[in-house]
Structure 1
Amino acid sequence: MLLVLSDEHKEHLGFLPKVDPAVVGEFGRIAVEFLKKGSNPKIYEGAARKLNVPSETVQHGVEGLMYLLTESSKLMISEIDFQDSVLVLGFSEELNKLLLQLYLENRKEVRQILSELAPSLPHYRNLEWRFDVQLGSRALRQHVKPAICLKLHLESGGTQTARVLQTDPATLLHLIQELECALAEVKSNHCRRILRNIK
């Protein structure tokens, strides 16, 4: 799978051939460090003074490199696909090898950082339900609406929570139909192709 870079990212990475390969290696280290701890404008300013360029240029170069490393690591693209993806940028053979080396050395660490940054969403554990109907009332002489009470048990990071929901049968039927449509859509050929490419 090839990595598709936008024109903006190509422009940001276009700064890399203008500097020494050792500087590109340092930019790669800074990019991985920024993924761990966040951005630090002082580092951009210091590097910009040494290279005699505006700090925005250095920032865009590092961010472009950071994007290249994160997207490549996220998709776990092979060495050949990475080289083909970078070939579009028109860099020298030496710079392409340096970028490949940066990718291969840092992809496990970048994947680990990305997995830690991913939000921990609660997932389903159990569901309890109750059907409530008021059988008679002097105040309500006409229509009695039944209600369905749901207690949804969720687990997130080892902690368990419960959410109580209440709905009427018509809304619940509509929700069931929508979920069945979504499940049917996942089985379609189009979704299967997308899921194959994601894995």
Structure 2
Amino acid sequence: MLLVLSEQEKTSFTFLTSLPEQVYPDLVKTALSQLLSTKQITKVVNSAAAKLKVEVASLTNSSLYVLSQCLLNSAKRNLTPEDLTSSLKACGVEVTIVTPLVISYTENRDILIDIITRSTVQAPEYRSMEWRLECQVGSRSLHNTVIPNVLTKWKISDPRFNNLKTKETYLNCDVNTLQHITESLRAAQLELDTLHARKMCRNLARIG
């Protein structure tokens, strides 16, 4: 798996090449500090911008942002240092920038992955479903009337245990509700086949 850079990110890396090569390791270190520390590093950024004679906004929104996003996205994809190196070189990033970035990623890869894991919302995941149809065939007040009801047993993962354990949930569902759920799922499936939905899925896959 390789890391794909957007045109804006490529432009940001191009801006980095206009800065002295000796500051690249410090910029990578500052970008990493933004990710790992909850403390504000405004003074550090302002000092670096003054020394480099560039605007603070340019340094923050361009250089530091693209470096931090590169580290995060690499950790999201669990890239190896070799994959990251190949990805950046394929996108035309200078070796003088690639080297300190890959070194920083290699040294802090486990920490970055841990940050992503803790910041990601853990949702239950579907494992299996069993169902049973029950029918009330009559009562004292209603004769010759069949009232169907569906009892479902859902086995889902438990996010409290990182989805490694499962729990069972029972739901009663009448025919009208079951029909509504079925129609909603069919409508969602048809929506996924539209051009707009496919485009959104591709963009989300590219980001994630």
SS of equivalent to 1:100: helix
Identity of aligned residues (%): 25
Whether the aligned pair in 2 keeps the contact of 1:153 and 1:162 (CA below 8 Å) is: yes
How big is the alpha-carbon RMSD for the aligned residues of Structure 1 and Structure 2? 3.9
**C-alpha distance in structure 2 between counterparts of 1:40 and 1:165, whole Å:** 52
Alpha-carbon distance between aligned partners in 2 of 1:122 and 1:145, rounded to the nearest angstrom: 32
* Selected match of 2:175 from 155, 161, 168: 168
Paired position in structure 2 for 1:85 = 87
1:11-51 CA deviation, whole Å, 9 max, x = no partner? 12223223344532233223333333469473544543443
Matched, 1:57 2:64: no
Question: Quick one: which amino acid aligns to residue 168 of structure 1?
Answer: V
| Deviation, structure 1 residue 142 | 7.1
Gaps of 5+ in 1: 182-199
The letter of the residue matching 2:85 is Q
Deviation at 1:86, TM superposition (A): 1.9
- Of residues 46, 58, 70, the one that matches 1:68 is 70
Q: Post-superposition shift, 1:157?
A: 1.2
Aligned to 1:118: 120
The amino acid of 2:3's aligned partner reads L
Q: Which amino acid aligns with 1:156?
A: P
1:146 partner letter: P
* Paired positions, count: 178
Q: Separation in 2 of the partners of 1:91 and 1:16?
A: 10
Mapped contact 1:21–1:98 kept (Cα < 8 A)? no
Structure 2: distance between partners of 1:91 and 1:173: 50
Conserved 8 A contact 1:151-1:165: no
Query: Judging changes above 3 Å, is the alpha-carbon distance between structure 1 residues 143 and 54 closer, same or farther for their aligned structure 2 residues?
Result: farther
Paired residue secondary structure (1:115): helix
Q: 1:145 corresponds to which residue?
A: 147
In the alignment, which residue of structure 2 is the partner of 1:107? Answer: 109
| CA 6–128 in structure 1, closer or farther in 2 if over 3 Å, else same | closer
Deviates more, 1:104-113 or 1:20-29: 20-29
Matched residue of 2:152: which SS?
A: strand
Q: So what's the TM-score if we normalise by structure 2?
A: 0.63
Amino acid at match of 2:36: K
Q: Does 1:34 align with 2:38?
A: no
Task: Tell me the TM-score normalised to structure 1 length.
Answer: 0.65
Question: In 1, Cα distance between the equivalents of 2:154 and 2:82?
Answer: 47
Q: Which residue of 2 aligns with 1:15?
A: 15
Q: Distance in 1 between matches of 2:96 and 2:23?
A: 13
Query: Do residues 156 (structure 1) and 159 (structure 2) align?
Result: yes
